Amino acid sequence: MGEEGSLLIKRTTANEGRLKSSLDPDDVNVPRRRFSFDFPVEALNTGDLIEIYTLDGSELILVAGHNFPDGRWYCHIDDTGGIRLYDDFEDSINGTFDKALNLVVPPVSKNIIVQTRNSRFRCYGQMRSWEITTSRQTVDTTSLGEEFLAYFSRGLISGQGSIDCIWDYKNSACEQVRNISREEQPNYLCELLLRLKQGALFRGQFFLYAGRPSVWYEADCIVTNIGLNFSPGEVVGSRVEFVTTGPIDLHIGDPASFLTQEDSDLILQEDEDSGILLEDPS
């Protein structure tokens, strides 16, 4: 069982990450397939799944061939704060020009809202080890009435933990975990700690055993400390410390993204990005 441990994380934000701004014609650079709007530099991270929609419900004129009042894409933030949009997470991480969506210049300025959406779980790349500690805090209930005694006598469960990994900022192959091959780079949590407006939140699935049935902890977490260590001739290491911000659940069974059946037919599965996946259960 010790060889089965793994870690999956999902991007999430405080208050669902709503950014209000204005999209002007001068903000769109069609030849470079990039645009910008007034937002804090740390508000968005490369690889975020963002939804853009107009405040008045009119057509969002930004992506070529997209004739709707809203749209959902992955974003890549370049060194100057410009944004490129992609249909695929891995393409957004790499930020390649030829995979970026073609843009059009809006005829007039539009008030828009950019909202970060929860994405799917991805394996945390280059991880060497993780640990999580849960504790229950008790409360002195001697002076409480009977009505409150039943609630507070159970105590408050809290948790904290750390992740040790090889630091990396590039997209690379990830060993498949639960048939998930997409990787979240270790540098993402380093960036997450610096994000002020939307917070440093993520949701983690800490697998003790990733078979069937699986055994894992699941909790919402917030990054509290990042440590990087460097020695000549050695790989750069990273240590991430976090605390949990809500209930800590211990699951035994199949994760929600698995659909099981007894025959050998293909499975149609809807993923968390509102897409349909064709999965071979074998």
Quick: pLDDT tens for 119-150: 688 888 888 889 998 877 655 555 555 545 44
Output helix, strand, coil percentages for the chain, rounded to the nearest 5: 10, 40, 45
Residue 260 has a pLDDT of 40
Identity (one letter) of the amino acid at 68? Answer: F
Question: Is the domain of 91 the same as that of 196?
Answer: no
pLDDT of residue 279 exceeding 80:
no
Question: Is the domain of 126 the same as that of 51?
Answer: no
In sequence order, what E strands does 177-232 have? 183-184, 201-209, 214-229
Residue 3 has a pLDDT of 57
Domain boundary residue, one of 96, 117, 138 = 117
Among 23, 78, 76, 29, residue whose Cα is nearest residue 49: 76
Question: Is the domain of 235 the same as that of 165?
Answer: yes
Residue 70 has a pLDDT of 92
Per the structure, the complete domain to which residue 95 belongs is given by 15-117
Among 161, 230, 217, residue whose Cα is nearest residue 189: 161
pLDDT band at 209 (very low <50, low <70, confident <90, very high): confident
Give mean pLDDT, residues 164-178.
Answer: 68
Give mean pLDDT, residues 156-169.
Answer: 84
Q: Is 95 helix (H, G, I), strand (E, B) or coil?
A: coil
Highest mean pLDDT among 189-198, 243-252, 261-270: 243-252
232 CB-near residues (< 8 Å, 6+ apart): none
Average per-residue pLDDT in the chain? 78
Question: Is the domain of 103 the same as that of 211?
Answer: no
Question: Is the domain of 94 the same as that of 126?
Answer: no
Q: Domain count of the chain?
A: 2
